[in-house]
C-alpha cells in the first residue's frame, strides 16, 4: 500500500480526522485507504463517514492509542 | 445495561442526549434558574468567574453546580469506559485565546450555542439572528479548516495532568458549599474570596442538589454520545453528516414542548429574559463565538466534557472562558438586557480579526 493511501489522524481535533478521511476517500473513489486514529470519537466519526460513502471497514486495534481503520471499495 | 450504554455511541446517542437536555433545562428554569437559562456554558462560566472575584458585577456571581456536575459526569463516564486519556500539546495558548474570544462573542449575544437553542425553544426570537450568526461563524471556521487550518496534534500526558481539572472542580464544589469569607471590606463587613449575587440572574438558581445531579446526567450522556452544539452545524456543512445535528434539533423540539407544558413559552422579541433586541450584535457576537468554537474543535459544552476525558487543551479553552468571563465585565464587553455594552461591538471586531489571523496562520508544524 502506498503512503498516499494512509491518513495518520492521531492527536488531531474534531473534525480533522473525519474531514481528512473523507477528502482521501473522495479522491480515491475506490481502492483501499488506511486511517490511523487514537481515540474512540475519531474512530466512530471516521467509520460513520466511510460507511455513508459506501466503503467497507476492517478494524485493526493494535493498541489503545493506535487503531488502524482499513477501508475498501 | 451495557447494551443501553453502547446505544449512546450509535446514531441514537445525540438524539437521547438532546431529548434529556430538552427536558432538564426548562425544568431547571422552573426550579429557579434564570429564564431560558437552564443550561448556558457561557453565562455559567461568567457567573463562576464573578463568584471567584474575576469580575465584580454583583448580579452575575454564583458557582453554577451544572458546570461542576457536567464536568464530573463526563469524567465518570470517561473513567468507566476507559476513555480517560490525559493528553495535551495542541496549541494550548491559542486554545486559551479562542476560549476568551468565544466568551466575548457569546456574552455580547448573551448565551452560548446551548442557550441560543434554549432561547429559541422558549420563544425568544432574538435567538434567530444569534443562531444565524453562529452558522456564519461555523461556516467561516470551515473555510479555514478546508485551507489546512490545524492546531496541531496533542500527545499523551502523564495521568496526573488529567486530575488537575477534577481537583479544581471539587474545589469549586467546596467553595459553593462553604462560601468562605476571609476578607473585610472598608466598612468591616466580611467579604470574599467567594462572592454570590444577592439580586439579579446570579441570585436565581435551582436547588443545588438538583442542578448538580442534572449536570451529572447531562455530562455523562454527552461524553458517551459526543454531543456538540457546534459540531452539529459543522458536520452537516463540512461532512454532510447529520449525526450531531439530530441531537440539537431534538433538543430544540423537546425544550419547546417542555416549556409549553411548564407554561414558560412566551413568543416575541421584547422583554425576553436575560436578552436584548440589538439584532446586529446578536448576530455579530455569535459569528465570533461560532468561529472561535469551530477553530477550537467544539462547543463550550464539548470542551468541558473533553476536559473530563483528561484533555488538557480543552481545559485551557475553559480557562480562557473563565478569564474571558471576568474581562467581559471589567472591560464593558458583555451585554445586559438594556442592550450592548460600550465596548461590545469593538471587541467583537477585534476578536474576529484575531480569530481570522489564527485561522490563516495556524498549520500543523512538520517535525
Query: What domains can you pick out in chain A, each with its CATH number?
Result: 3-59 (3.30.110.40)
pLDDT by residue (tens digit) across B268-307? 999 999 999 999 999 999 999 999 999 999 999 999 999 9
CB contact under 8 A, A15 and B155: no
- Which residue in A67, A5, A62, A73 sits closest to A42, CA to CA? A67
pLDDT of residue A34: 97
Q: Which residue has the cell 445535528?
A: B245
The residue of chain A nearest to residue B363, with distances taken between CA atoms, is A12
Ramachandran assignment for B170, one of left (phi > 0), alpha (psi -120 to 50 degrees), beta (any other): alpha
Q: Average the pLDDT over each of B23-37, B121-135, B177-191 and give the range with the smallest value.
A: B177-191
Mode of pairing for the β-strands spanning B87-88 and A56-63: unpaired
Please indicate if any CB of chain B lies within 8 Å of the CB of A15: yes
Residues of A in contact with B9 (CB under 8 A): 40, 44
- Which residue in B39, B10, B57, B4 sits closest to B255, CA to CA? B39
The residue of chain B nearest to residue A26, with distances taken between CA atoms, is B239
Q: How many residues does chain A have?
A: 73
Task: Find the mean pLDDT for residues B15-33.
Answer: 98
Please indicate if any CB of chain B lies within 8 Å of the CB of A73: no
| Contact call for residues B71 and B165 (beta carbons, < 8 A) | yes
B90: nearest CB among A13, A22, A48? A13
CB contact under 8 A, B9 and A44: yes
Residues of B in contact with A45 (CB under 8 A): 226
Opening angle at CA B118, ends B65 and B128, nearest 5: 140
- In order of A69, B45, B51, B228, the CA distances from B205 in angstroms are 47, 14, 14, 25
DSSP character at residue B9: T
Torsion angle defined by CA atoms of residues B106, B107, B109 and B113, in that order, rounded to the nearest 10 degrees: 30
CB contact under 8 A, A44 and B82: no
A19/chain B closest Cα distance in angstroms = 7
pLDDT by residue (tens digit) across A10-67? 999 999 999 999 999 999 988 999 999 999 999 999 999 999 999 999 999 999 899 9
CB contact under 8 A, A48 and B238: no
pLDDT of residue B162: 97
Opening angle at CA B67, ends B65 and B69, nearest 5: 65
Please indicate if any CB of chain A lies within 8 Å of the CB of B297: yes
pLDDT of residue A1: 46
CB contact under 8 A, A15 and B238: yes
CA–CA dist B84, B302 (Å, integer): 15
Please indicate if any CB of chain B lies within 8 Å of the CB of A72: no
pLDDT by residue (tens digit) across B235-260? 999 999 999 999 999 999 999 999 99
Please indicate if any CB of chain A lies within 8 Å of the CB of B95: no
**How many Cβ contacts (< 8 angstroms) between chains A and B?**
56
3-class secondary structure for B204-249? Answer: CCCCHHHHHHHHHHHHHHHHHHCCCCCHHHHHHHHHCCCHHHHHHH
CB contact under 8 A, A12 and B150: yes
Instruction: Name the residue with higher pLDDT: B244 or B186.
Output: B244
| Contact call for residues B98 and B355 (beta carbons, < 8 A) | yes
DSSP character at residue A5: G
A22: nearest CB among B226, B231, B239? B239
Mode of pairing for the β-strands spanning B181-184 and A66-72: unpaired
pLDDT of residue B145: 97
DSSP character at residue A34: E
A5/chain B closest Cα distance in angstroms = 19
The residue of chain B nearest to residue A39, with distances taken between CA atoms, is B83
Element (H, E) at B182: strand B181-184
CA–CA dist B126, B10 (Å, integer): 34
CB contact under 8 A, B239 and A65: no
Domain ranges of chain B: 2-361
B19/chain A closest Cα distance in angstroms = 21
pLDDT by residue (tens digit) across B107-124? 999 999 999 999 999 999
| Contact call for residues B299 and B113 (beta carbons, < 8 A) | yes
Average pLDDT of every residue of chain B: 96
Amino acid at each position: 500500500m502506498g503512503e498516499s493511501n494512509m491518513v495518520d489522524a492521531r492527536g488531531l481535533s474534531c473534525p480533522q480526522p473525519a474531514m481528512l478521511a473523507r477528502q482521501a476517500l473522495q479522491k480515491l473513489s475506490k481502492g483501499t485507504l488506511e486511517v490511523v486514529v487514537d481515540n474512540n470519537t475519531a474512530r466512530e466519526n471516521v467509520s460513520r463517514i466511510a460507511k455513508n460513502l459506501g466503503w467497507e471497514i476492517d478494524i485493526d486495534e493494535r493498541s489503545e492509542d493506535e487503531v488502524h481503520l482499513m477501508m475498501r471499495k | 445495561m451495557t447494551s443501553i450504554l453502547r446505544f449512546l455511541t450509535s446514531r441514537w446517542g445525540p438524539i437521547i442526549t438532546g431529548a434529556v437536555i430538552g427536558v432538564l433545562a426548562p425544568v431547571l428554569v422552573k426550579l429557579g434558574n434564570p429564564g431560558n437559562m437552564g443550561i448556558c456554558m457561557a453565562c455559567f462560566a461568567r457567573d463562576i468567574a464573578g463568584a471567584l472575584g474575576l469580575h465584580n458585577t454583583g448580579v452575575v456571581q454564583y458557582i453554577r453546580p451544572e458546570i461542576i456536575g457536567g464536568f464530573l459526569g463526563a469524567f465518570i463516564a470517561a473513567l468507566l469506559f476507559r476513555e480517560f486519556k490525559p493528553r495535551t500539546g495542541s496549541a494550548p495558548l491559542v486554545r486559551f485565546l479562542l476560549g476568551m474570544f468565544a466568551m466575548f462573542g457569546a456574552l455580547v449575544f448573551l448565551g452560548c450555542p446551548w442557550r441560543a437553542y434554549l432561547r429559541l425553544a422558549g420563544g425568544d426570537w432574538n435567538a434567530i439572528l444569534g443562531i444565524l450568526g453562529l452558522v456564519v461563524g461555523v461556516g467561516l471556521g470551515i473555510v479555514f479548516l478546508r485551507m489546512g487550518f490545524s492546531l496541531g496534534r496533542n500527545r499523551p500526558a502523564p495521568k496526573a495532568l488529567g486530575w488537575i481539572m477534577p481537583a479544581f472542580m471539587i474545589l469549586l464544589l467546596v467553595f459553593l458549599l462553604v462560601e468562605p469569607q476571609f476578607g473585610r471590606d472598608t466598612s468591616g463587613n466580611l467579604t470574599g474570596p467567594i462572592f454570590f449575587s444577592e439580586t439579579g440572574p446570579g441570585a436565581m438558581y435551582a436547588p443545588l442538589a438538583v442542578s448538580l445531579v442534572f449536570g451529572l446526567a447531562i455530562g455523562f450522556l454527552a461524553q458517551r454520545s459526543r454531543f456538540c452544539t457546534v459540531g452539529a452545524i459543522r458536520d452537516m456543512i463540512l461532512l454532510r453528516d447529520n449525526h450531531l445535528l439530530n441531537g440539537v434539533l431534538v433538543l430544540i423540539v423537546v425544550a419547546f414542548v417542555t416549556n409549553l407544558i411548564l407554561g414558560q413559552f412566551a413568543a416575541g422579541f421584547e422583554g425576553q429574559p436575560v436578552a436584548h433586541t440589538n439584532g446586529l450584535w446578536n448576530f455579530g457576537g455569535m459569528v465570533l463565538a461560532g468561529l472561535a468554537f469551530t477553530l477550537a474543535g467544539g462547543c463550550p459544552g464539548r470542551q468541558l466534557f473533553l476536559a473530563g476525558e483528561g484533555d488538557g487543551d480543552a481545559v485551557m479553552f475553559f480557562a480562557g472562558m473563565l478569564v474571558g468571563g471576568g474581562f467581559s465585565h471589567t472591560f464593558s464587553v458583555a451585554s445586559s438586557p438594556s442592550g450592548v455594552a460600550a465596548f461590545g461591538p469593538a471587541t467583537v471586531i477585534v476578536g474576529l480579526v484575531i480569530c481570522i489571523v489564527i485561522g490563516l496562520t495556524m498549520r500543523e508544524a512538520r517535525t
